[in-house]
Amino acid sequence: MNTRLQVEHPVTELITGVDLVEQMIRVANGEILSLKQNEVKINGWAMESRLYAEDPYRGFLPSIGRLTRYRPPAESRSETAVVRNDTGVFEGGEISIFYDPMIAKLCTWAPNRAGAIAEMRNALDAFEVEGIGHNIPFLSAVMDHPKFCVGNITTAFIEEEYPDGFVGVELPIEILKTVAACAAAMYRLGEIRRTRVSGRMDNHERRVRDDWVVSLQGHDFPVDITADPNGSTVRFETGGHRVASDWTPGNSMAVMNVDGIDIALKVEKCTSGFRIRFRGADMRVTVRSPRQAELAKLMIEKTPPDTSKLLLCPMPGLIVQVEVAVGDEVQEGQSLCTVEAMKMENILRAERKSIVSRVYAAAGDSLAVDAIIMEFE
């Protein structure tokens, strides 16, 4: 249960059934409270996840842009579960540098804490936000963190559990197999659709192979698929999964029933597979024939460009001040410039001793994320 009841009114309302905002408006209108303290009862557990326009992969720095997709999970209420989403944004709206980065308060309720967490996991999986960086991956990771699940946490949780920052989630092998089974079934469906538009008249399903290799998070899973009108059976070397869904290629949300349990995957088509986001993990999932998978292992990985001599803008924002000039020698930790974003001023400091060779930005400039501010020798 929430210990900040006076602040987080959605959580309080869910466990008491009292509409606090209504009560405050009535009191402000001169009315007397309609209930007494001994009439306030606590029922069940509630969770709140604050969805922010902050990128957890960049140290939770603010992110701005247009919400090209904003599809919260459906709000619902039953005797065993509640999903509530308090928000003020909409698809097509813009998140700017001038306001607080909070997008929504996603809340769940259940008779017990484990149930409230489980509802929150599913709600976060089904929450679609595109166009900006946001903290849904981190919130999902917290819901699966062992210490959080048992309640063994303090306000130092992030510092203790993510001392090097949030870099995503490595899913357990059994969950990876579940995702791999879904990816194989979805990919096969896409292959069938492609053969239907090929112009050939023979049975399209007979020309779609049943053996594939699904690769994700450094693991390769050879699978074999048997399909029928009600779904697919995806077999691994050590067992299999039954997968059913009404998903169609092109849909960004795939609700898959795996062995009788519904899960929600955010899906984006890419070459030879999908980008799939699930439970805090952002995965490139490839589905290849055995021969293609064998040849893929011989491909040279592309190395990222060297940016060690550049100061890049870590967030979209306004340059308030530049404190160095070309030719200046800077020391490790020295202040270089200040960037303002979302009501906060962020001081960027030198990571090592060096000499400034070029300055690209000046006070008053508005910069995009990763824009070059200055260069060093």
Q: How far apart are CA 43 and CA 13, in angstroms?
A: 10
Domain coordinates in residue numbering, the chain? 44-161, 173-296, 310-376
Catalytic residue, chosen from 4, 200, 275, 352, is 4
Fold assignment, 44-161? D-amino Acid Aminotransferase; Chain A, domain 1 (3.30.470)
Write out the CATH class of domain 310-376: mainly beta
Q: CA dihedral in degrees (55, 57, 61, 64; nearest 10)?
A: -30
CA dist list (Å): 95 to 77, 127, 235, 320, 370: 30, 17, 44, 20, 18
Per-residue pLDDT at 2 exceeds 50:
no
In tens, the pLDDT along 241-290 reads 999 999 999 899 999 999 999 999 999 999 999 999 999 999 999 999 99
In tens, the pLDDT along 136-173 reads 999 999 999 999 999 988 999 999 999 989 999 999 99
Partners of 374 in the β-ladder: 311, 359
In tens, the pLDDT along 16-42 reads 999 998 998 999 999 998 889 999 999
Per the annotation, the verdict on 349 as an active-site residue is: no
Q: How far apart are CA 83 and CA 123, in angstroms?
A: 7
Under a CB-based contact definition with an 8 Å cutoff, are residues 58 and 315 in contact?
yes
In tens, the pLDDT along 259-272 reads 999 999 999 999 99
> Is 0.85 surpassed by the pTM of this model?
no
CATH 3.30.700.30 is held by the domain 173-296 = yes
